[in-house]
């Protein structure tokens, strides 16, 4: 017989708390929100249950939760809550530390929404549920366990006239989901507020880096490595060419610098998990770290492809430095300004403006190499964006059920912080055979914050 842990009763002296976790292949972010509007955040290592396993994922979840709890004033916490000191000083526990964090010793959350990469079906959720309930000291009826992409639907819950949300994530990996939205949280009677009014009705991709993930930061980084290795192969094959061998482009040099090497062969070692930086890790940990490192190279590609774009830290599949994220709002994206362009206009970013009234200035060797770097970066980005367009179209089915005029497209993941990358996706959708234009397009910088606020509205009514 299973013993049901009690739900913490409302207390006039201790505010009520809810939790939302956004766990991906690079990191997990936990946001805790109180009934009086206080929010705190904790971040830890990879939390994809498929790539790192249940135990490592639950340890990352606990580490991020304890880090968030440690930021709350004591008036928000029961006196008998135990927060281990190791959670405040240790590095991520997915990297091989022998000591493990204990589960929460008492139930303190009214409800928790865990959006975790790797939860792709009901059996995945059931498999991890016992780890989640044990870690957070909650019963199953007080936890919603979903894929991390479902968190993107949270901002759309109170938008009138919406039946579906198409959520597309391009972070370390890629995935798309179509989510049916039930009546607004605020319109539901108290007896019906037992769960979030969201229902998965379709899924596209999310099969992992071996089978898909085209258009992700990992995929961009992988293509960047291939570009470097192709030049290295050309150098090694110079004896069979009559033309001179070109030097590495500044783009390639930046990629090598990012990986901390001058030898392209080191990139092969990294991809094959034989790199020195992966020594001592088990296969799941090494794979997660390898994938995160490769995903981080997407920043280099986007820097060259869209030099006028967002700061590099905002377009990475890797965690940004502490304090560099504002990430608290969901924002509308002007689809008119971002998608109305003729075919090929994106590529015009890589060509210089010419004043035909004057004799064109011959670019210097340095300028020519920079132009070639931008053209190569745009070539890499173009290879990634088409599969992402196809993924989004798959989420619409045959349009018999999902009506564009009643559907919101929500974009999430580090790559979607890049205006240039986002523009290429929306432009491709508008130019597709279906001429896709959604009722509304939104970007979510921090899904965990939006998820916590949705849970707060459900539990607290505001």
Q: What is the pLDDT of residue 288?
A: 82
Rounded to whole angstroms, what are the CA distances from 159 to 72, 123, 395, 440?
31, 31, 20, 10
Q: What is the pLDDT of residue 21?
A: 98
In eight-state DSSP terms, residue 233 is H
Domains of the chain in sequence order: 1-146 (3.30.420.40), 217-444 (no CATH)
Distance CA 397, CA 178 (A): 9
Q: Using 50, 70 and 90 to split pLDDT, how confident is the model at 320?
A: very low
Mean pLDDT across 198-220: 90
Q: Terminal CA-to-CA distance of the chain, rounded, Å?
A: 37
Residue 330 or residue 412, greater confidence: 412
Distance CA 243, CA 252 (A): 20
Residue 281 or residue 226, greater confidence: 226
Q: Average pLDDT of the chain?
A: 84
What tens digit of pLDDT does each residue of 149-180 get? 899 999 888 788 999 999 998 988 898 999 99
Q: What is the pLDDT of residue 310?
A: 47
- The full length of the chain comes to 462
Residue 184, helix vs strand vs coil: coil
180-189, 198-207, 245-254: least confidently modelled range: 180-189
Scanning 329-398, the segments in alpha helix (DSSP H) are: 335-339, 365-394
Rounded to whole angstroms, what are the CA distances from 93 to 59, 88, 231, 283?
7, 12, 38, 15
Q: Using 50, 70 and 90 to split pLDDT, how confident is the model at 195?
A: low
Distance CA 357, CA 126 (A): 69
Distance CA 271, CA 73 (A): 44
Those residues whose C-beta lies under 8 Å from the C-beta of residue 357, and which sit 6 or more positions away, are: none
Q: Using 50, 70 and 90 to split pLDDT, how confident is the model at 263?
A: very high
Distance CA 17, CA 122 (A): 27
Greatest extent of the chain over all pairs of C-alpha atoms, in Å: 86
Nearest residue to 442 (alpha-carbon basis) of 397, 420, 415, 412? 412
68-77, 104-113, 303-312, 443-452: least confidently modelled range: 303-312
Contact 176, 394 (CB under 8 A): yes
Rounded to whole angstroms, what are the CA distances from 164 to 58, 152, 404, 429?
31, 12, 9, 18
């Amino acid at each position: 017989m299973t013993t049901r842990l009690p739900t913490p009763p409302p207390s006039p002296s201790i505010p009520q708390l809810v939790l939302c976790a956004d766990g991906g292949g690079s990191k997990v972010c936990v946001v805790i929100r109180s009934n009086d509007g206080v929010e705190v955040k904790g971040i830890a290592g990879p939390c994809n249950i498929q790539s790192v396993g249940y135990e490592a994922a639950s340890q990352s979840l606990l580490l991020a939760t304890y880090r968030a709890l440690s930021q709350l004033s004591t008036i928000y916490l029961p006196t008998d809550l135990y927060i281990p000191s190791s959670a405040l000083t240790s590095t991520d526990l997915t990297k091989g530390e022998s000591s493990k964090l204990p589960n929460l010793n008492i139930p303190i959350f009214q409800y928790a929404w865990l959006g975790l990469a790797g939860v792709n079906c009901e059996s995945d959720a059931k498999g991890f549920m016992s780890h989640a309930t044990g870690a957070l000291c909650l019963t199953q009826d007080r936890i919603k366990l979903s894929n991390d992409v479902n968190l993107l639907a949270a901002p759309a819950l109170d938008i009138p006239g919406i039946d579906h949300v198409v959520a597309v994530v391009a972070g370390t990996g890629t995935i798309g989901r179509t989510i049916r939205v039930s009546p607004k949280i605020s319109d539901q009677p108290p007896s019906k507020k037992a769960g979030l009014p969201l229902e998965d009705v379709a899924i596209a991709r999310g099969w992992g880096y071996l089978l898909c993930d085209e258009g992700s930061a990992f995929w961009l980084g992988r293509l960047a490595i291939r570009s470097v290795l192709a030049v290295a192969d050309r150098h090694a094959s110079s004896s069979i060419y009559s033309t001179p061998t070109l030097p590495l482009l500044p783009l390639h040099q930046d990629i090598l610098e990012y990986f901390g090497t001058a030898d392209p062969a080191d990139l092969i070692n990294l991809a094959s998990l034989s790199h020195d930086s992966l020594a001592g890790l088990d296969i799941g940990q090494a794979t997660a770290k390898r994938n995160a490192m490769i995903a981080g190279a997407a920043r280099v590609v986007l820097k060259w492809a869209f030099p006028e774009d967002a700061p590099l830290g905002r377009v990475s599949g890797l965690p940004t430095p502490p304090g560099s994220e504002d990430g608290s709002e969901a924002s509308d994206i002007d689809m008119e300004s971002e998608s109305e362009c003729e075919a090929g206009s994106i590529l015009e970013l890589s060509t210089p403006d010419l004043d035909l009234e004057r004799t064109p200035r011959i670019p210097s060797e340095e300028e020519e190499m920079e132009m070639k770097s931008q053209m190569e970066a745009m070539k890499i980005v173009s290879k990634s964006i088409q599969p992402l367009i196809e993924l989004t179209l798959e989420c619409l089915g045959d349009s018999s059920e999902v009506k564009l005029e009643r559907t919101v497209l929500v974009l999430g993941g580090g790559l979607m912080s890049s205006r240039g990358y986002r523009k290429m996706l929306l432009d491709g959708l508008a130019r597709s055979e279906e001429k896709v234009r959604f009722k509304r397009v939104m970007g979510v910088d921090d899904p965990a914050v939006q998820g916590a606020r949705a849970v707060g509205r459900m539990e607290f009514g505001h």
